[in-house]
Amino acid sequence: MREFVDNLDRVNEMAEATPGFIWRLQTEAGDATGIDYFGADTIVNMSVWRDIESLHGFVYRSGHTGVMSRRKEWFERFEGAYTVLWWVEQDHTPSLEESELRLNILKEHGPTAAAFTFKQAFPPPI
């Protein structure tokens, strides 16, 4: 895990410098690894982006990709949905409770306009 933790600041700075980035969940320490909302063995990562394309570019076409390609070295395999996307209103900061609700919607109903994935995204509401 040491290499993962050693890369957090760099990856977070990279995200914040990426066009389309708006906000990310963090503690006073500057990351979210100390938040144990889903249990002590689960790391929370939540951010707000202008659009799916900006987030997709960061996740799959930046230095983030190199770090996450090594996730099998640091994390146990997780079955089921663990990433969920949804649209938020401008100036809204999502909560951990909201993220849990959206993740449960995805798990129970599959991708919908209320909770979706990169593979099956939905357009923003009008």
Report the distance separating Cα 79 and Cα 55, nearest Å: 23
| Locus of tokens 């089921």 | 80
Q: Give the global pTM.
A: 0.90
Q: At CA 21, angle to CA 93 and CA 13, rounded to 5?
A: 110
Residue 102 DSSP one-character state: H
Other beta carbons less than 10 A from residue 87's beta carbon: 15
Domain with CATH 3.30.70 in the chain: 2-78
The amino acid sitting at 89 is E
The amino acid sitting at 90 is Q
- Give burial (CB, 10 Å; 0-12/13-18/19+) of 66: exposed
Per-residue pLDDT of the chain (126 residues; tens, 9 = 90+): 678 878 888 999 999 999 999 999 999 988 898 899 999 888 899 999 999 999 999 999 998 888 888 877 887 887 888 899 999 999 999 999 999 999 999 999 999 999 999 999 999 998
Nearest residue to 47 (alpha-carbon basis) of 21, 78, 70: 21
Compute, in degrees rounded to 10, the torsion defined by CA atoms 20, 34, 80, 4: 70
Residue 76 DSSP one-character state: -
- Has domain 2-78 been given CATH number 3.30.2010? no
